[in-house]
Amino acid sequence: MSEYIIESQDLTRDFGDFRAVDKLNLKIKRGEVFGFLGPNGAGKTTSIRMMVGLLHPTSGKVLINGQNINEVEKASIGICPQELVLWDNLTPNESLNLMGDMYGIPKKERQMRAEKLLSDLFLTDKAKTQVKDLSGGMKRRLNLAMALVHEPEIVVLDEPSEGLDPQSRRVLWNYIRFLRDDDGKTVILTTHLMDEADKLSDRIAIIDHGKLLRLDTPDNLKKEIGEGDVVDMKLSDQSKNETVIAALKDLDEIDSVSEIQGRINVYALDAVGKLPQIMSKVEDSGVKIADLSVRQNTLEDVFLDLTGTTLRE
């Protein structure tokens, strides 16, 4: 059996004159959490829809377990959309049994699966409560359970933590790890939450304008812009940004300097120790610092460095 469960080959999708996905080539490993990052309109949702058979590509193809997506049993994939797809007047138990019935699962077995999912996602106490009376976090966990009742091999989670409180988000994160580590499922995750992508994903694809920019582990991606910190500053006179950036690039042991939305980001190992040199260079340029912070670099820094835009733009 191949190491890779999904493979896209020159995957392309046009909508009229607009190319949403442009020759996307990537491989998703069996039993990994695979993160998709990109700003709104980057092509990630279109890519995933093609990779799970919901949308036909203009050209290129998708293989699942070595088979063309068109020949694959669709029940091998479970999709949990960002929008809640629930029946308000049914209970969670009824909802899961109805979904299981749609997949042709025998009554006794689907009830067993429903009970396990409700237990795993901390919904047992609400099994007989109408969906309309559940909290937002409970509805989102039920939405996930609905995508799992037929025990798919591949699970697609589109912004699963959207709108969740920290406690509900923690429950969800632990369950995603359980799906990978205990159930051996392959999870495809799209998210705008950088800590979610960082902590859950084994590998991450960063895409923009329909093109794959990077594909690697979170740690390796962050190392691309320096194994260290970010000095994030705003100058009192932003017209001097280019002058200051040129001066900072002359400093020893500075990995890189870039301008992001009018702010200057300096990437360096032990940035705190280099602050006196950095501030001296700024002052020598005849400008003052209006705002400054120091932090560790993040996945969002990687994306900003690659595209110059934030993930929510």
* pLDDT tens digits for range 135-174: 988 999 999 999 999 999 999 999 888 888 888 888 899 9
Q: Which domains does the chain have, with CATH numbers?
A: 4-221 (3.40.50.300), 226-296 (3.30.70.980)
pLDDT of 167-222, one tens digit each?
Answer: 888 889 999 999 999 999 999 999 878 888 999 999 999 988 899 999 999 988 88
Q: Do the beta carbons of residue 201 and residue 35 sit within 8 Å?
A: yes
Q: Give this prediction's pTM.
A: 0.82
pLDDT of 72-92, one tens digit each?
Answer: 988 899 999 888 889 999 999
Mean pLDDT of 291-313: 74
Task: Spell out where the chain has E strands.
Answer: 4-15, 18-29, 33-37, 59-64, 67-68, 77-80, 154-158, 186-190, 203-208, 211-216, 229-235, 256-260, 263-268, 289-296
Q: Is the pLDDT of residue 5 over 50?
A: yes
Q: How confident is the model at residue 307 (pLDDT cuts 50, 70, 90)?
A: low
Kindly give the interhelix angle for 136-148 and 92-102, rounded to the nearest 10 degrees: 20
Element (H, E) at 302: helix 299-307
Side chain identity, residue 219:
D
Q: Which residues pair with 291 in a beta bridge?
A: 234
Kindly give the interhelix angle for 271-284 and 241-248, rounded to the nearest 10 degrees: 130
